[in-house]
Structure 1
């Protein structure tokens, strides 16, 4: 699968939801092309998620820039949201959060520019960069050549690519995870996911189907020049939690995972946390969290230090 095919992943997700994937029209260089309206791709209750996450490590410091996009179809339109953070030096800084409504479309999964958010698209609508331009500040996440490309069992797509974060005049090379997935309504919330790296040689993605953040996960890995690895049944457990009083819930701060009869295993600990409580009627409120993590990945008899991001939600 080439990088261009990630753009078509939305069609595959729509096919999973609606058993029909209409052909997407060509787009513009800014990702804001006119779209053909219609009901085939705009079934009310469909939710499309996209994450573009930059990770780079330099010595003991880590730089993470996650962009999270959501599109929710409804009668007469699409509700969209985009959020972004900059994590460095153990501190999370939110720098973009917008929600807006767009017209009905056959391609609701397609990303839209909005306000200070710009999108740079290549021929074939492959995403080349996500750019924030607000006043004097400019932060760009650029995507390069793919390192690993995988499809999940529920129609998700995951691409790990070479990339860079460009902040002001400084360019930092790193890796980018481009994730796309869909679901039908809030009754089937998506699970947590993890993006882990060890230097330039190892990239691992773990993705769960259980909204509690434990239980069955799928995993994919790229280890140096070896063939890509898939782990169809990964067990993830919370080794340690802490109370998040605002939501009246326990949230994880240490994780353990294993697959392949112990052929792959690891431990993670949260180093820096951004956590929010959502709105709700009951005593237990939703949780929305990002964790910068570090730990150890064990493949057979060899251990590797890893760093990365854990995305955690509780509904």
Structure 2
């Protein structure tokens, strides 16, 4: 069994959770039915099989986990390396190939998972029996950082039946070198303030030529609004016409955001960002990983913003407590 605290859903390596991308068992041994499918326009992965949605299947992803093919990963982009590592480690559960994919000094930031490559490999037998399934909704990359936005079903091992997560990986020398994650129990659309789920909405990555511009917009939004430097400038960043909200406690539009923040403050649980550690942008999507407090509780805020015509028009997030004790000395960030 995995060593975990069921009360803290953010305590298992998100890379582990991606273990069950629709695998199947067949007589005479176990063979993965998982392949990574990419939408022809968005280059966003989703599991094939029953979850496939008119996507082009790249057969190479299911083949990559074999040891004699791992060297080919060195020629891939960071996004391809991460997706290939997920298949090799947690779909085929191939110890020989898996041992070559993460760097030996792999740096772990999940609070409950020890740092290094050995703990990942040690979890493979248990993960093979875990029965989790995963759907990756969005993937974006900038430089050596790759962000996955995913849903995990049958995820009692991580704190609930259905969990939503952001996983961030850093790639170095063709291998996965570092990992951050943040999980939150999923709230169905029927129970959210906006009527939206925590993962639906736009997925297409476009406006690649505006990546730097959109990154700067979100950086300034974080500095002025989230960090409280100049909150009155919020309409400089968020559209006053369209603002689609996926935080389950917040309604759509600026009015919905204002009402939620006021309610939290009145309940003695004000939300305060204090520092942003990671920013990853690709086209119209910009991701940030920040720390702060929810009331008096140290909290991690992972946010994803979609930008259109120079304004933020859509937002997803996961929020989790930062524990005082961790299985390593690397910290949450």
The structure, 1 or 2, with the larger RCO (C-alpha pairs under 8 Å, 6+ apart) is 2
Question: Please, what TM-score do these two structures have when normalized by structure 2?
Answer: 0.30
Query: Structure 1 or 2: larger helix share?
Result: 2
Higher strand share: 1
TM-score normalised by L of structure 1: 0.32
